Amino acid sequence: MLNAANSISVAGTESVRSGLVPTIVYFVHAVQSANTMSWFMLGITAYPEVQRKCQEELDRVIGRSRMPTLADKDSLPYICVTLREVLRWRPVAPLGQSLPNEPCNGSLTHGW
């Protein structure tokens, strides 16, 4: 629970500074990113033609002299679409299966 001093109090322990929360969020994000990259590597291995197209795009746009940066994102559409496909194929959080498919209350529309 947050108290007035902007810290988190945990029963039986001393107060923990709220800086712990961003640290936890960072590590959760890092695990999710690692999971996504693992699925990306599996997908690239399973579909060598996609790997070939990604490599061709990298060689054409970036070359082999440097690493890509965020500034190159707009110049790498095939790679961006491939990463989005990985997120669609194996999402980090399966929200589609966990959301209810019907209203929680007893609402009716035109008698249905």
> Rounded to whole angstroms, how far apart are CA atoms 105 and 97?
20
pLDDT at 12: 47
CA-to-CA distance for 37 and 31, rounded, in angstroms? 10
Residue 2 within any structural domain of the chain = no
- Identify whether 13 is part of a domain: yes
Per-residue pLDDT reduced to its tens digit, 19-65: 556 666 666 666 677 888 888 888 888 999 999 999 999 999 999 89
- As for how many domains the chain has, the answer is 1
Question: Within a domain: residue 55?
Answer: yes
Q: Is residue 97 part of a domain?
A: no
How far from 111 is each of 11, 32, 83, 107, 108, CA to CA, in Å?
52, 44, 44, 9, 6
Asked if 62 and 72 count as a contact pair (C-beta separation under 8 A), the reply is yes
pLDDT tens column, 8-29: 555 544 455 555 566 666 666 6
Q: Is residue 52 domain-resident?
A: yes
User: What is the domain range of residue 19?
Assistant: 7-92
